[in-house]
Amino acid sequence: MSDLLRAPAELKYAEELDWLESIDDNPKPFAWRLSPKMVRLFILGAERADGLDREVAQKWFGDRSFVERAVVTLASDRGLLLIGDPGTGKSWLAELLSAAISRNSTLVVQGTAGTTEDHIKYSWNVSMVIAKGQSRESMIPSPIMTAMERGSIGRFEELTRSTSDVQDALISILSEKYISVPELGGDNDSANGADNIVFAKPGFSIIATANSRDRGVNDLSSALKRRFNFVRIPVVTNKKSESEIVRFRTEELLRRHQIELDVPPTLLDVLLRSFADLRATAASAGSDDEKLESALSTAEQIGVLEDAILHSNFFGRRALDARTLAASLVGSLARREPEDLAILNKYLHGVIEPRSKDEGGEWREFLDGGRDAIATLS
């Protein structure tokens, strides 16, 4: 996998999945590769009570009830909708679920304003149609249709960014569990099914994600909502859990880039406390103009730390310091000028400056690095 920029979960954890499958003697719904208990264990990691012969690391950090409800939903005939703020790990959870259940997390449709029915149903190979006419061979199935034919999990990212026509087409798929292909004609009364209908095999389901901040872009109809079980993923605010997530992702980054660089616990604490401060500021803000455009999610914390690590490795002293971390924070969060810069400047003077006098240490360097970054961007 060293030649892949980013391996999907089923390849990244292939050896672990093989091992879990080999010891899994629990009942499995449909053609699932792992039982519901093993799916949960794969995602949340093994506990001492599980009595396994090897370690299974935690890959998604959140309440176990969210994972259990998601697994139960996928074992039914309903779709699963993971909804929450940007950066809360919805897509990563969807990928892990698909990898554990189907050993394929790549059957994905990305919802955008340009997504059409063809993206969730089928299209045609024009050259083959011209040469031989419309047939199953000249049809290009969508990832969702492929998932239906295989009895696998299909994924739909950013559902609320797609138009109502696309959402309406998804209602039919979730309700009827088949896609009609009228261009092929055929006899719909055939005992073995018709050539112009693609039926879903047992095990097919859809995991969709939606950002709560996209409310009002393309709201889901009540009909589509009824076809999904909702699992709301909150922003991680528990310091211990957030620290585990950031550390987990940072270690992955260092391994991927083959970087030997120490991330001092004191600097990780500076990052976590800074984001907690900024979230508190946003919560008390009177208007959107007084809030950063950033969602201040855990994923954005990871992005700030990744930027600082890479900068330190390539252009610094191969050691992470507070000045570089502050510069990365300002550079990552200042998306609007001058609004975001003004908010960050107020935060530095109102919170970090007094803290640097009281606690000293890394906070003094963090304050200086933040001021320099704002001055450069202003």
Domain boundaries, the chain: 62-232, 239-377
- Three-state secondary-structure class, residue 228: strand
Paired tokens of 292: 């950063």
Q: pLDDT tens-digit profile of 340-377?
A: 999 999 999 999 999 999 888 899 999 999 999 999 98
pLDDT under 50 in the chain at which residues?
A: 188, 190-193, 216
β-pair partners for 84: 211, 233
User: What homologous superfamily is domain 62-232 in, according to CATH?
Assistant: P-loop containing nucleotide triphosphate hydrolases (3.40.50.300)
Which residue type sits at 239?
Answer: K
- Sequence-distant (≥ 6) Cβ neighbours of residue 332 within 8 angstroms: 294, 300, 303, 304, 307
Check: CB of residue 238 under 8 Å from CB of residue 330.
no
What is the rounded distance in angstroms from the CA atom of residue 206 to the CA atom of residue 76? 11
Burial of 80 (0-12, 13-18, 19+ CB in 10 A): buried
* Dihedral, CA of residue 65, residue 81, residue 161 and residue 174, to nearest 10: 170
Q: Return the number of other C-beta atoms located less than 10 Å from residue 209's C-beta.
A: 22
Q: What is the DSSP string of 196-217?
A: TEEEPPTT-EEEEEEEGGGTTT
Which of 192, 191, 165, 193 lies closest to 179, judged by CA?
A: 193
Q: Which residue blocks in 163-208 are alpha helix, DSSP H?
A: 164-176
For residue 288, what are the CA distances in angstroms to 47, 210, 294, 343? Answer: 43, 21, 11, 11
Q: pLDDT tens-digit profile of 67-122?
A: 999 999 999 888 999 998 877 889 999 999 999 999 999 999 999 889 999 999 99
What's residue 165's pLDDT?
87
For residue 66, what are the CA distances in angstroms to 46, 86, 242? Answer: 17, 17, 17
